[in-house]
Amino acid sequence: MSPTGPVTGFVYHADCLAHAPGRGHPERPARLSSVHTRLREGGLWSELDVIEPREATEAELRTVHTAVHVERVRGACDQAPCAIDGDTAVSAGSWRAALLAAGGLLDACERVHARDWQNAFVAVRPPGHHAEVERAMGFCLFNNVALAARHLRGALGVERVAILDWDVHHGNGTQHVFERDPTVFYASLHQWPLYPGTGAEGERGLGDGEGATLNRPMPAGSTDADWLGELETHVLPALEAFRPEFVLISAGFDAHRLDPLAGVNLSEDGYRAMTARLLELAQRTAGGRLVSVLEGGYHLESLAASAQAHTEELVQGARGGGA
């Protein structure tokens, strides 16, 4: 039975496990199953409204990506196992997993926008924030959070959307999609220097979108206090001034101190605190409307613990008792 009253949605589909980039690849199915298992066993499950997502349509994919890119990804999946680049590979189940990942975020945005949910966590894979308009890269096939922002702006009529990306790797794809768009504010906290090499502080958007991109590159070794300080000093004031009507989080948990692909020293408590601050912002400017989507995180135990802390804070926020 679904919870009653203001509720946190949780979006998950077992078919997202069928995306298998290959033996030894860090973006492995166990990432998602570790999150799912932790939330089921950690006492949160009864507090969540859990759904399986729909597939995104090809027309929805083309609101961000070109038809050529969509066909290129489909063709690679048809020929699987297949490597798209040195980091990004697909299996026979990758096409459906990618459609479910994108569709899951669209589903969540629709439900939060309609007030069926107060907020939501979309636990899907493959991740998305490195995917550019015509390029799959960095483990990402389609840019899930960019598709969600376009869906909010177009189909749902939201005037101003904010995306905070706290994955340890800069979301070059999301920045690429919106760098000329003043209606979508993209802010990123990420380790610098690190893959993919973008996200310098001077990258602030282009043309009409200048000023609607905010990058706060962080050094290796930075801590919870460092990231929270940057969030409170630079990111939140900029987002407050933008007054978003809907908040999206690219929730990578790979800035954790145990993660093997980076060198930042965050903890699950750091993710909890950042979640609380974003919920406060969403409450002030967007009626609490906030949806997060899983991006990176490659140490299974720290990924699961961080996702649990994040989800616990979302549930508390939905109850109206956020920090």
Structure tokens at 91: 């299996």
Q: How far apart are CA 134 and CA 146, in angstroms?
A: 13
Structure tokens at 301: 């135990």
Find residue 191's DSSP bridge partners: 218
CB 39 within 8 A of CB 122: no
Element (H, E) at 178: helix 172-178
Three-state SS letters, 234-281: HHHHHHHHHCCCEEEEEECCCCECCCCCCCCEECHHHHHHHHHHHHHH
Q: How far apart are CA 317 and CA 315, in angstroms?
A: 5
DSSP string, 186-216: EEEEEESS-TT----TT----GGGTTSEEEE
What residue has token string 């090499």?
A: 197
The residues annotated as belonging to the active site are 130
Q: How far apart are CA 206 and CA 65, in angstroms?
A: 19
Provide CB contacts within 8 A for 302, sequence distance 6+: 253, 256, 257, 258, 259, 268
273: left (phi over 0), alpha (psi -120 to 50) or beta: alpha
Supply angle C-alpha 63, 19, 138, rounded to 5: 60
